[in-house]
Each structure stands twice: as structure tokens, then as C-alpha cells.
Amino acid sequence: MSVPNSLNRLSEVRLPAFESLLAELVAIPSVSSPSSDWDQENLPVINLLADWFSDLGFQVEVQAIPGHKGKANLIATLGAGSHGLVLAGHTDTVPYDEPRWTTDPFKLVEIDQRFYGLGTCDMKGFFPIIIEALRAMEGAVLCQPLIILATADEESSMSGARALAKAGAIHGRAAIIGEPTSIQPIRMHKGIMMESIRVTGQSGHSSNPALGKSAMEVMIEMIAELLQFRDQIKKTNQNELFEVSFPTLNLGRIHGGDSPNRICGHCELSFDLRPLPGMNTRELRENLSGIVHRIAKKRQVDVRFEPLIETVEPFETSATTELVRSCEQLTGRPASAVAFATEAPFLSSMGFETVVMGAGSIDQAHQPDEFLALNQITPMSTVLSGLIDKYCVQPS
């Protein structure tokens, strides 16, 4: 059976306008979260996207995520070959604080040239923008494939991107991840490690310190050394392309003890570390573990040092790659770096030159009254049309 390779079904299918497409996506709740109280399926969103791209002539495959009920990825392919272009986005959103929204998070509303709704910029809006780019190329014949990826759980475990990377079944030259960057090409970002330290000491009456071992005091000593470690890696690792040019370590949550008149028997600290590209995350974790266990042994307490999430590695694509230069030319903006993590390391590990670039600002992501500015839509779709033309229609 021949593989369809032309964009000749857009006028035949007559998909609704951009606003209607985005409204359909926003209306489907698809929160992902480590908390079971919040976590939801993304399969309804995947099925909707599968219908859209199937109607446009793409071959679609819905891949269930093993061990994650109701979670799936979509791979939609138009054309054949091994040197095409991937346009990738995630279908989940973060949890939302509805009382702080001035509109319904699941109803698309246009106010002052902005589309408001949960996921409008981060990042359900990327998929209707892809379709806008295709509308502008109706009738084009592809010499190399265009592949649309829609993933699960980017906002929590990144299980979708991890499953794709593990399968390794997608081949191409270049990949764009449409996270909100205000249409600026991003060629590197920091990684993220989230860690937990649980110290178990010995409770006792506070009138006599000899009756117990304070887990809180042990944790204070560990924190002091963690902060020294933070200063050390800050001094020895710098990259001026980042707004915050050094790796960060944030002490995000601490809990311990139960009463002022009891020696603290348990104390727990959660923190994150965001390493720069080029830093070895395995080595970082070994150093952190060494600090924690050395102090625990000295103070004769039990300790558990565990990751809260699987590490997302730092990401970097060389400034000299064809994709980075093409994105810079099409946008008129230099490639830069961001502190937040994306699925880019997983696509990069599959052999793609990868750039993160999408409409909307990260400043609106994860916020009440999230919005996508209308003036971002056409410029982004124009950039995507240019990339599709370069990599799929007229590949060198």
C-alpha cells in the first residue's frame, strides 16, 4: 500500500477554524500530576488529535504507555523516509486553582486579543498552530515525512517521552518541541533532579537531650553542607547564555517533629537541583549521597536518600546545526537557553537535531488565567510552514 505524501485533503476535510480547534482541546481535562487526587487520563485528547490528523491523510498510531492506565502517545505520519521533520508537543496540563481564575479554565474565551484557557499556551495551542501551517501548504508534495508527536505526562513523570525514547522507532533529521518560548529558538536548557532526604533519629523528652537524637538537628547539618555544595558547583559551572548562569539547588520543602516538648524523631527535606548542560547528573547524585550518608553515619541516625522523579537530563543542541540556523533565519532571533526542562533530551537521544520553540510565553504557563496571545499564532504557523518546506518538501 502506498503511503500518502501530499497535503491535498485540507480543502476536502474542512477542519474548523483555529479557535474552534483550540476550544475542543481546552474543553478536555488532561491534568497530569504525581498526586492521584489530580492525575487524569490524556487518552481523550489523543483520540481527538488522531481524528484530526487521520482526516488530513496522516497515518496515525496511538501508543498506550505501559503501566499508566488511560495514558497514550500519538504518532501521526505523512510521507515516507528517514530524514523528515518531527513536530512534538505534550497533551497534559498542570493542576489548576479554579478560584483564582476569572474565566472557566476549560472554556476558551477571547478577551483583548488573547485566548484564555488551561493549556492554551502550555501547550495544547501548538497542535492547532500546526494545522494552520498545513493549511498554508495545501497541495504540497512531501519528499520526506512530517511526523506529529503528542505525548503524555510531560508535566509530571514524562512517561510519554520516556516510552518513545525507549522504543526508538521514530527516525528523522530534526525535531521542534512547541513549548511556549515567544517564538524564540531554544537550543539548550537545564536538567532537573528532585531528591528527598528522610532522617530518622530518636524521639524523647525535650528536658533531657541525652534521651534522644534530634533528626532536625541532623538535617540542619545536612542543609549546611548542601548549601556549601551549592556554592561549590556555582563557582565551577557557568554558562552565560542562561539568565541564571549557574546550576541552582532549591530547598523546597521541610517537615519534622510533632511537638515543641519532644525531641524530633523524624525530619524530611525535599529539594531540586537544576544542572547545566555538560554536568554529569550521576556524579552529582553520588556527591549528594556522600554528603548525606557521611553525616548520618557520624550522627548515628538512619537516613534514606531517594529521587522523587526520574532525572531529566540537561539538553543542548550545537549552535552550528542546520536546524538551529534554520530556526534563527526563519524567526530572525538568535537561539538561546532556558532554565525550565522539556522533553528535548529524549528526542535528542533518538538522534534528532532538536530545538524548543513555540508560541506564547512561559510567563503565562502554570498560572491562573493562562492565555495565548493571538498575535503569536500566525508568526508561529509561518515558521512551521517554512520548516516543513525545508525538511519535507524541498530537502537538500
Confidence bin at 15 (pLDDT 50/70/90): confident
The SS3 call for residue 54 is: helix
Distances (CA, A) of 345 to 42, 279, 342: 22, 14, 7
Distances (CA, A) of 8 to 78, 149, 168, 263, 284: 11, 21, 30, 73, 52
pLDDT score of 264 more than 90: yes
Mean pLDDT in residue range 41-61:
96
Residue 16, CB half-sphere, CA atoms under 13 Å: how many? 9
Q: What is the CATH number of the domain that holds 351?
A: 3.40.630.10
Report if residue 3 sits inside a domain.
Answer: no
* Among 254, 280, 307, residue at a domain's last position: 307
Report if residue 5 sits inside a domain.
Answer: no
141-160, pLDDT tens digit by residue? 999 999 999 999 999 999 99
Report if residue 1 sits inside a domain.
Answer: no
- Whole-number average pLDDT of the chain: 95
Residue 134 shares a structural domain with residue 232: no
Confidence bin at 12 (pLDDT 50/70/90): confident
Residue 328 shares a structural domain with residue 367: yes
Residue 341 shares a structural domain with residue 300: no
Report if residue 4 sits inside a domain.
Answer: no
Contact by Cβ (8 Å): 157, 309:
yes
Residue 250 shares a structural domain with residue 176: no
Residue 234 shares a structural domain with residue 356: no
Residue 284 shares a structural domain with residue 330: no
Give bridge partners of residue 75 from the DSSP assignment. Answer: 61, 149
Q: What is the CATH number of the domain that holds 234?
A: 3.30.70.360
Confidence bin at 2 (pLDDT 50/70/90): low
pLDDT score of 122 more than 90: yes
226-237, pLDDT tens digit by residue? 999 999 999 999
Report if residue 353 sits inside a domain.
Answer: yes
* Among 259, 286, 307, residue at a domain's last position: 307
Residue 178 shares a structural domain with residue 291: no
Confidence bin at 396 (pLDDT 50/70/90): low
State which H helix or E strand residue 235 sits in.
helix 215-236
pLDDT score of 248 more than 90: yes
Residue 185 shares a structural domain with residue 200: no
Report if residue 253 sits inside a domain.
Answer: yes
Domain extent, residue 127, equals 10-189+314-393
Question: Radius of gyration over alpha carbons of the chain, in Å?
Answer: 24
pLDDT recorded at residue 34: 87
Contact by Cβ (8 Å): 87, 380:
no
Contact by Cβ (8 Å): 164, 231:
no
* Among 284, 307, 330, residue at a domain's last position: 307
217-228, pLDDT tens digit by residue? 999 999 999 999
pLDDT score of 128 more than 50: yes
The SS3 call for residue 245 is: coil
Cell, residue 117: 484557557
Give bridge partners of residue 284 from the DSSP assignment. Answer: none
Mean pLDDT in residue range 313-327:
98
* E strand residue ranges, the chain: 59-64, 72-78, 85-90, 109-111, 114-116, 146-151, 174-177, 186-189, 193-200, 248-256, 266-274, 302-307, 315-316, 336-338, 353-356, 371-373
Mean pLDDT in residue range 296-301:
97
Residue 278 shares a structural domain with residue 386: no
Mean pLDDT in residue range 321-334:
98
Report if residue 82 sits inside a domain.
Answer: yes
The SS3 call for residue 279 is: coil
Distances (CA, A) of 238 to 185, 188, 247, 276: 21, 14, 8, 8
Distance CA 361, CA 365 (A): 7
Distance CA 25, CA 118 (A): 10
Looking at the annotation, which residues are catalytic?
Answer: 92, 154
Cell, residue 368: 491562573
Contact by Cβ (8 Å): 96, 160:
no
Report if residue 340 sits inside a domain.
Answer: yes
175-217, pLDDT tens digit by residue? 999 999 999 999 999 999 999 999 999 999 999 999 999 999 9
pLDDT recorded at residue 14: 76
Residue 15 shares a structural domain with residue 136: yes
